[in-house]
Amino acid sequence: MSSSGADPAARAREELGYSRWWLIVAAAGAMGVISPYQYVWSSIEGPLATDFGVEPAVLAPIFTVFVILQAGSQFPVGWWRDRHGPRRITTLAALLAGGGYVGLAYATAVWQLYLFYALGAVGVGIVYTVSVNTALKWFPDRRGLTTGVGTMAFAGGSALFVPYVRANETVGAYSEVLRNMGILIGLLVLVAAVVIRDPPTEWQTRDEESDTTRSRPHQFTWRETLRTWQFWVMYAMFIAVSGAGLMVTAQVVSFAEATNLADRIRILGASLDTATLSATVLPVAAGVGRLVMGEFSDRFERRRMMAVSFLLCGIGVAGLVYAASAGAPTLFVASVVLAVFFWSPQYTLFPSIVGEYYGLTHSSSNYALLYSGKMWGGVFGGAVVAWLVTRTGWYTAFGLGGVLAMAAGLTALLLRPPTQPTE
């Protein structure tokens, strides 16, 4: 038996020759540097539309394509990574994610913008899958905290890019801005590809053994995971919570404008410019929420932390409705922060509980299946909410979002570890 015993940190150092936290640093760095694809799009959409002589609405579907490909690519990526390791697939991500932004700098037609952003979206999906599951595989004792670090970097990394992007908003400067960002993205993801590796299979499974029974838990394959009722309950929860959260991030500015709160919020000093709001209040609240709730989920029962987080998210969304109807701008801004702070931990809590319930050997493909629910959440937060607003009004649409998040919170209390299939 190894001299390091059952301590994961000591055995990881024995395996790696250095602290396992360096893997998290590399993963978080890659997550932070790809964040512009999701969080800086609103800053570059307008200048790109002006440069190409089209209305912004012509480019708006690019972001929907990004969400679908970023979420949809993760299952094949996770399947590959679980079998072949992270390095080659992460090297490919460096070419796709970095090349996507470089391609934008040299695009000469609108269809090329769609193509390069789509290629970049696949690169982002690869980095996301690899980074989150690096935390799961090397930190079975700190799943919540370490996945929180990576996903916090994805949410907050854009804050480092926004000042540079917004300082060069002229059309003439954008080619250089996009090219420089693409080069930086490619280089840092390539560094992560060199650093990140997976532990041996026996290392992972030994960490999951029970201290009392010493029996090896079953490592669920993705097919076995799909046959458990827990997965489908979590899938419905994931759609509900991501739908409510993406609705807030995508529609909150329009909601404020439509309910005549815009001018009052400006008086408070909170700009309602979409890019600025997305790059300040929302990502900061999202990033801190993931880290805080991830740490709490390691200390307390994870499903109860899910219940608390999603219920408070729902209360925050409902608070937006109340604040708008009451004409209370301070409460409106506070509700935005509350909703996003407790929505974003889903990207920490769900991968952690997937690793806990289904094992670490196939965690990449198992969580990727669950993460695909983000596609449907994005459809709700965008197209469905837009339809509801035209049919029933803003209050009903946001009220439904709040109900969905609170229902997901209550449903979390029903979760139990799955029964191991008969060998």
**Contact at 8 Å (CB) between 329 and 286?**
no
**385 shares a domain with 244:** yes
The pair of three-digit structure tokens given for residue 317, joined into one six-digit string:
């969304």
**183 shares a domain with 71:** yes
Q: Cα 415 vs. chain centroid, distance in angstroms?
A: 22
Within a domain: 46? yes
Within a domain: 418? no
Ramachandran angles phi, psi of 80, nearest 5°: -65, -45
**288 shares a domain with 169:** no
- The domain boundary, picked from 172, 206, 240, lies at 206
**Contact at 8 Å (CB) between 100 and 418?**
no
**39 shares a domain with 141:** yes
Tell me the pLDDT tens digit for each residue of 31-74: 888 988 877 776 777 778 888 888 877 887 887 788 888 888 88
**201 shares a domain with 240:** no
Count how many domains the chain has.
2
Within a domain: 293? yes
Within a domain: 179? yes
The pair of three-digit structure tokens given for residue 99, joined into one six-digit string:
């090349």
User: Residue 273 — left, alpha, or beta (φ > 0 → left; ψ -120 to 50 → alpha)?
Assistant: beta
What domain range includes position 301? 220-412
Say if residue 151 is exposed, middle or buried (CB neighbours under 10 Å; 0-12, 13-18, 19+).
buried
Tell me the pLDDT tens digit for each residue of 131-188: 888 887 888 777 777 877 877 788 777 777 777 776 776 655 678 888 888 999 999 9
Round to whole Å and give the CA distance between 159 and 36. 9
- For the chain, percent helix, then strand, then coil, each to nearest 5? 80, 0, 20
Within a domain: 82? yes
Neighbouring CB atoms inside 10 A of 73's CB total 21
Tell me the pLDDT tens digit for each residue of 340-382: 889 888 888 998 888 888 887 777 788 888 988 888 887 887 7
Torsion of CA 199, 202, 204, 207, to 10 degrees: -130
**Contact at 8 Å (CB) between 370 and 238?**
yes
Within a domain: 421? no
